[in-house]
Structure formats: structure tokens, C-alpha cells
Amino acid sequence: MLNRDSGFTLIEMLMVFVIMGIVLSLASPKLSKAAGQMAVRNSRNEVSAMISLARALAIQNGRRAVFIQEGNTVRVELARGSGTTTDTTTMRDLATQHKVALGPNAKVTIPFDPRGFAIPISKDDPRLITIKRDGFTDTICVFGLGKISTDSDKCAAMQ
């Protein structure tokens, strides 16, 4: 005689899958929100690290170094003695890595002199970078002495 008491019925299995589907559909928006917030934070940290690298290279080598943000890519260049520049870090495309958009300008150039001071290019030089994704925004600004700030209130006062 067959024992029908072992195992699960088809209806029980279907109920488990329906409940799992409901729970996942409720959790999905929160997970995507957290992913967007984390991508902005990671990008902010990466851009801050690249700006710090430019400043450190300028001080370390006693030569001008430049942080450059063009579109959604960032890179650092170190000046040679003849005035030409050479890439010292790989170009990083943050749109590809983190699916973020950098702004507010299409291009931001932040040069550092051999003392590590941020050299103003013009009177209206923003030295400000915003990072956006899924409604989340973060800001990085560089002050004249080369100090980097991610405090949105300090960066807003700079504008």
C-alpha cells in the first residue's frame, strides 16, 4: 500500500510560490532605491579619491597635476617638465561602472600646483561636481587650499 502522507501537494507548493512572489514584489522597490543610493555614494568616494590623488601627486612630484571630469569620465594628469601632460591613472567611466551622471558642467578641470593648492582657472571656476542617479544627488567641491568637501551645505555656500 502507498503512503500518501509524505511530501507536499501541488497546491501547497503553489501557495508557497505565490507568497514568495508577493514578498519579493514588496521588497523590490526598496532594494532598487538602496542600489541607487549606494551607487551615488560609491561614485562620490571614487571621485573624491581621484581628486585627492591629483593633489597628492602634485605635492609628491613637485609638479602641477590636474583632475579632469569630462562628461561621466574622470582622470588625473601629471605635468611633465616640458609642460605636456601624461595620464597617471586610468580613465574611469562612472556611468558604465555605477550608472550615474556627473555634472553640473560637461567638463570640470581642477589643477593643483606643486604645493597642493587648487589653482583657479577663472573667476567663475566652479570646482564643483554633482553625482546623480534615480533621484539621489551628492555634491563634491574643492576649495582653494585643496580641501575636498562632500558637505552639501558647504558646497552650496561655494556656489
pLDDT digits (tens, 9 = 90+) for 30-58: 777 888 889 999 999 999 999 999 999 99
Return d(Cα 133, Cα 98) in angstroms, integer. 9
Q: What is the domain partition of the chain in residue ranges?
A: 10-158
pLDDT digits (tens, 9 = 90+) for 136-147: 999 998 887 888
pLDDT digits (tens, 9 = 90+) for 119-132: 876 666 668 889 99
Q: Where are the alpha helices (DSSP H) in the chain?
A: 10-61, 94-98, 152-158
Output the CATH code of domain 10-158. Answer: 3.55.40.10
Q: Is 55 exposed, middle or buried (0-12, 13-18, 19+ CB in 10 A)?
A: buried
Torsion sign, CA atoms 13, 19, 23, 26 = positive
Mean pLDDT value across the chain: 84
